[in-house]
Amino acid sequence: MLLEDFSEPRLIQVIKNICPEGPGIIIGIGDDAAVLALEPGSRIVATSDMLVEGIHFDRNFISAYQLGWKSLAVNLSDVAAMGGTPRFALVSLGLTENTELHFVEDFYYGFKRIGEQFTTYLCGGDTVKSPSGIIVSVTVLGSIEAGKILTRSGARPGDLVAVTGVLGSSAAGLALFQKGILGRFSPEVEEELKKAHLEPLPRVREGQILLARDIATAANDISDGLAVEVREIAAASEVGAIIYGNKIPISKATVTVARFLGEDPLQWALGGGEDYELVFTFPPEKMGVLKELKIPVTIIGEIKEKEFGVFVDIDGKMCNLEGYGYDHFKKKNQ
Amino acid sequence: MLLEDFSEPRLIQVIKNICPEGPGIIIGIGDDAAVLALEPGSRIVATSDMLVEGIHFDRNFISAYQLGWKSLAVNLSDVAAMGGTPRFALVSLGLTENTELHFVEDFYYGFKRIGEQFTTYLCGGDTVKSPSGIIVSVTVLGSIEAGKILTRSGARPGDLVAVTGVLGSSAAGLALFQKGILGRFSPEVEEELKKAHLEPLPRVREGQILLARDIATAANDISDGLAVEVREIAAASEVGAIIYGNKIPISKATVTVARFLGEDPLQWALGGGEDYELVFTFPPEKMGVLKELKIPVTIIGEIKEKEFGVFVDIDGKMCNLEGYGYDHFKKKNQ
C-alpha cells in the first residue's frame, strides 16, 4: 500500500500502534504538541515541524528571512495552542551545495527576530547537505504548569466556539503570489496579506492568557484550516459543533482579493489553512472574563452533542465540515 | 559566497554570531547536545540530527528498520557523550508519495526497538511529503543533573585519552556495500561490520557511568571519526594531544576487510566516522576506578599542552590530525 492512498489520521494511528506512549509522556502523538514530565511538577511542551522546498514553500515567493521566521512561527503556534511558554529551539537545515551563505544568514536573522518576541532562543540543531532543495526541521521546547494544559479534548456541549484574529488572510496572500496578481491592489492590502502568509504572528500570549484565566475548555491552532481544526476538537472531545459562516471574521483585504479572483473568501477561511490563529471553546459563563481581556476574539459557533455532527451554516444551508481543508498525508505532531 | 566553499566550523560561527545564547541555555550550539534549564536544579539535554537520502544513506544498503534504528542511535549517541539519560524523541519524516506504508511501519519498528533499550519513547513529530527522497529529522530530549555534565572542554594536560569499543568497523561495513564485496568473508565478519554500520549501539550507559563516577574530564561521541573528535576536544579544552596509532582498538573483521581492499584500517579508525563510540579524557589517578567498571575501554593517548599541537603517532611518524575526517558542511548540533 502506497502512502498516496492513505489518509492522514490512519497513518498517525499506524505510528501510535507501533510506538505506544512511554512513561513520562503526559500528552503524546496526536495533539498540537507533546507534554512531557522530566521532573515531578515540571512539564515540557515539545513540538516539531518540517518544511520542504517545493512542498511547503517556493523560494520565488518567500525570502530566507521570512522562511526562518515562518519555520519558527509554525512551531510557536503549536505551543500557543496548548497555552505553553516556548523557550528553546533546535533547527536542522538541509542545504544544497550551491546555497549562498547569505541565505543561511538571512534565515537565522528571521528566526532570531521572531524568537526574540517570544522568549525563544536557538540552542542547537544540525546542518547537512541536501541533494536537491532546502529542508527545514524545527523543534521547539517550552514549559507549562503541571496539570494545567490546553488540549483538544475538553470541549463540552453548550460551550461556545471562538477564534482569534481574522481567517483566510494567509490563503489570500498565497493567491497573490500564485495567481501573479501582485501590484493590482493597494500597498496596504498586499502588505497585510503577504505578511499573513509569510510572517505570521503566532498567538502565544493569547494561548497563555486563555489557560491562565481558566477560560478555554479546548484549543487548536489553525494551521490546516478552520474546518479541520474544529473537526479535530470535536473528535477528541467526542462532541458535535455548529459554526456560523457569516460570523467567521475575514479581513476586508481578503474579501477584496477573493472577489477579484471570483473566489469565495469563506472557503479560504474554512479550508485555506496557515492562518496560525487559535480556535477554542469556552463555557458561556466565561464570556464576561473573556471580554475584559482585550484579546481580538470572535465567537463563531457552538458545541453540540456528538450525535449532532460537525457542520457549518452557510446562508442557512448546513454543510458538513468533512469536505474542507487539507487531507494529504501532512500532519503536525503526528 | 557558496556553502561548498565554506568550512563547517565557520558556518557554525556565523550562526552563533546571529543567534547568541539566550537565558536558560547552559550549553548551546557547538557541543554534542544542548543543556537547558527550564526549572532550577533540573537540566534538559537536547540534540537533533537530520539524515537525507542520497547523502547519509542509500536505500539499496539500509532497510527501513535499520534507518529507524540508526536515526535514533545517532541522537542517543550525542546524549551519551554528555552523560545524560535520554527520555523522549520527536521524529519528522519527509516521505515521497510512492513510499510504501510498509516502509513507514518498519522504520518505526526499528526506532521503537532501540528506543526500548535506552528508555527513549516517541512523543511527537511531523510527517510531510517530500518531492524526492526520504528525509529523517530526529530530536532527542533527555535529563541530566544540574552542574554535572560531560562536555568537550574539561581536558587537562596529563590526562589520558581513551575510547570505548573498537573503531573503523562502520567504515568497513560501508565498504562491504560500496565495493560490492558482500559474501566474500565469513558470515560472522560480515554480520559484525554490517551491524556496526547500520545498527550501531550508542554508549549511553558508559557515558552515564563515566559521569556518575566522576572519571571523565571531557568526552565526545565518535560520529565524524576519531581525528575530528579529538581535535574538537583539544580545541574546546585549549590543549594539545598525542594519539598512539598502534593502540587504537580495531576489530579483526575490520582488518580482514581492509587488507582485502588494500586499505589501511587505521585510516578508517581515524577518519571513517559513524562508529558512535565515546572518546574521553581522564586523569591517570582515576585508572583504578575505570578498570573496576568493566566498560570496554582502551587507552590510546595523552593530553598535552596546547603548544604541543594535536598529533597521531603512526609507526613513530608524527602526523597532524588536521588531515583526517569529514569536513564538508555537515555538523552535529551546530
pLDDT at B60: 94
Least-confidence region, from A115-129, A248-262, B156-170, B313-327: B313-327
**Is the pLDDT score of A185 beyond 70?**
yes
Do A47 and B133 make contact, defined as CB atoms within 8 angstroms? no
Q: Are the C-beta atoms of residues A248 and A171 closer than 8 Å to each other?
A: no
Please, what sign has the CA dihedral across residues B31, B35, B36, B37? negative
Q: Which of A154, A141, A120 is nearest to A38 (CA)?
A: A141
User: Among residues 121-150 of chain A, which lie with CB inside 8 Å of chain B?
Assistant: 121-133, 135, 137, 139, 141, 143
B6 vs A contacts (CB less than 8 Å): 101
Do B127 and A94 make contact, defined as CB atoms within 8 angstroms? no
Do A123 and B29 make contact, defined as CB atoms within 8 angstroms? yes
**Per-residue pLDDT band at B189 (split at 50, 70, 90):** very high
Q: Are the C-beta atoms of residues B66 and B86 closer than 8 Å to each other?
A: no
B93 vs A contacts (CB less than 8 Å): 50
Do A99 and B131 make contact, defined as CB atoms within 8 angstroms? no
The chain-wide mean pLDDT, for chain A, equals: 93
Q: What is the pLDDT of residues A65-85, one digit of tens each?
A: 999 999 999 999 999 999 999
A224-244: average pLDDT = 96
A86 inside 8 A of chain B by CB: no
Do A123 and B87 make contact, defined as CB atoms within 8 angstroms? no
B119-137: average pLDDT = 95
Do B38 and A99 make contact, defined as CB atoms within 8 angstroms? no
Q: What is the pLDDT of residues A281-295, one digit of tens each?
A: 999 999 999 999 989
pLDDT at A1: 75
Q: Boundaries of CATH 3.30.1330.10 in chain B?
A: 23-145
pLDDT at B115: 97
A40 inside 8 A of chain B by CB: no
Residue of B nearest to A6 (CA): B101
Q: H/E element holding A221? A: strand A218-221
Do B50 and A143 make contact, defined as CB atoms within 8 angstroms? no
Determine how β-strand B310-314 pairs with β-strand B240-244. parallel
**Per-residue pLDDT band at A169 (split at 50, 70, 90):** very high
Interface test with B, best of A72, A90, A114, A116 (most B CBs within 10 A): A90
- Which of A42, A94, A332 lies nearest to residue B126, judging by beta carbons? A332
**Is the pLDDT score of A323 beyond 80?**
no
pLDDT at B147: 83
- Which of B14, B109, B131 lies nearest to residue A18, judging by beta carbons? B109
Residue of A nearest to B143 (CA): A38
B292 inside 8 A of chain A by CB: no
Q: Are the C-beta atoms of residues B250 and B166 closer than 8 Å to each other?
A: yes
B131-142: average pLDDT = 96
A10 inside 8 A of chain B by CB: no
Residue of B nearest to A74 (CA): B126
Instruction: Tell me the nearest-neighbour CA distance from B10 into chain A, angstroms.
Output: 11
pLDDT at B328: 47
Instruction: Tell me the nearest-neighbour CA distance from B150 into chain A, angstroms.
Output: 17
pLDDT at A325: 54
CATH of region B23-145, choose from 3.30.1330.10, 3.30.70.260, 3.40.50.720, 1.20.58.1030: 3.30.1330.10
Q: What is the pLDDT of residues B58-116, one digit of tens each?
A: 999 999 999 999 999 999 999 999 999 999 999 999 999 889 999 999 999 999 999 99
pLDDT at B141: 97
**Per-residue pLDDT band at A4 (split at 50, 70, 90):** confident
| Residue B260 falls in which region: left (phi positive, over 0), alpha (psi -120 to 50) or beta | alpha
Interface test with B, best of A128, A130, A145 (most B CBs within 10 A): A128
Instruction: Tell me the nearest-neighbour CA distance from B330 into chain A, angstroms.
Output: 5
**Is the pLDDT score of B131 beyond 80?**
yes
pLDDT at B1: 75
Instruction: Tell me the nearest-neighbour CA distance from A175 into chain B, angstroms.
Output: 21
- Which of B52, B91, B108 lies nearest to residue A131, judging by beta carbons? B52
**Per-residue pLDDT band at A3 (split at 50, 70, 90):** confident
Q: Boundaries of CATH 3.90.650.10 in chain A?
A: 160-323
B113 inside 8 A of chain A by CB: no
ipTM: 0.92
pLDDT at B33: 94
What is each CA distance from A71 to A47, A276, B93, B321, in whole angstroms?
12, 12, 16, 38
What is each CA distance from A257 to A175, A201, B253, in whole angstroms?
8, 21, 68
Do A18 and B129 make contact, defined as CB atoms within 8 angstroms? no
Grid coordinates given for A126? 544540525
What does the DSSP 8-state code read for residue B286? G
Do A101 and B1 make contact, defined as CB atoms within 8 angstroms? yes
A36 inside 8 A of chain B by CB: yes
pLDDT at B325: 54
Q: Which of A186, A179, A228, A220 is nearest to A203 (CA)?
A: A220
User: Among residues 45-84 of chain B, which lie with CB inside 8 Å of chain A?
Assistant: 46-56
- Rounded to whole angstroms, the Cα distance separating B194 from B65 reads 14
Q: Are the C-beta atoms of residues A76 and A120 closer than 8 Å to each other?
A: yes
User: Which DSSP string corresponds to B73-118?
Assistant: HHHHHHHHTTT-EEEEEEEEEEE-TT-BHHHHHHHHHHHHHHHHHT
- Which of A18, A104, A333 lies nearest to residue B112, judging by beta carbons? A18
Q: Boundaries of CATH 3.30.1330.10 in chain A?
A: 32-145
Q: What is the pLDDT of residues A265-277, one digit of tens each?
A: 999 999 999 999 9
B284-317 core/surface letters (b: 16 or more CB in 10 A; e: else): eebeeebeeeebebebbbbbbeeeeebbbebeee
Q: Which of B209, B65, B78 is nearest to B141 (CA)?
A: B78
Do A123 and B28 make contact, defined as CB atoms within 8 angstroms? yes
Percent of chain A topping pLDDT 70:
96
Do A124 and B48 make contact, defined as CB atoms within 8 angstroms? yes
B36 vs A contacts (CB less than 8 Å): 87-88, 123, 141
**Is the pLDDT score of B8 beyond 80?**
no
**Is the pLDDT score of A333 beyond 50?**
no
- Rounded to whole angstroms, the Cα distance separating B226 from B301 reads 12
- Longest CA–CA separation in chain B, Å: 58
Do A21 and B50 make contact, defined as CB atoms within 8 angstroms? no
**CATH H superfamily, domain A32-145:** PurM-like, N-terminal domain (3.30.1330.10)
Q: What is the pLDDT of residues B211-243, one digit of tens each?
A: 999 999 999 999 999 999 999 999 999 999 999
User: Among residues 186-245 of chain A, which lie with CB inside 8 Å of chain B?
Assistant: none
CATH of region A160-323, choose from 1.10.10.10, 3.90.226.10, 3.90.650.10, 4.10.410.60: 3.90.650.10
Residue of A nearest to B86 (CA): A38
pLDDT at B329: 46
- Rounded to whole angstroms, the Cα distance separating A183 from A185 reads 6
| Beta strand extents in A276-316 (DSSP E only) | 278-282, 297-304, 310-314
pLDDT at B2: 80
- Count of C-beta atoms within a 10 Å radius of residue A189: 18
B312-320: average pLDDT = 93
| Chain A, chain B: beta-carbon pairs less than 8 Å apart | 308
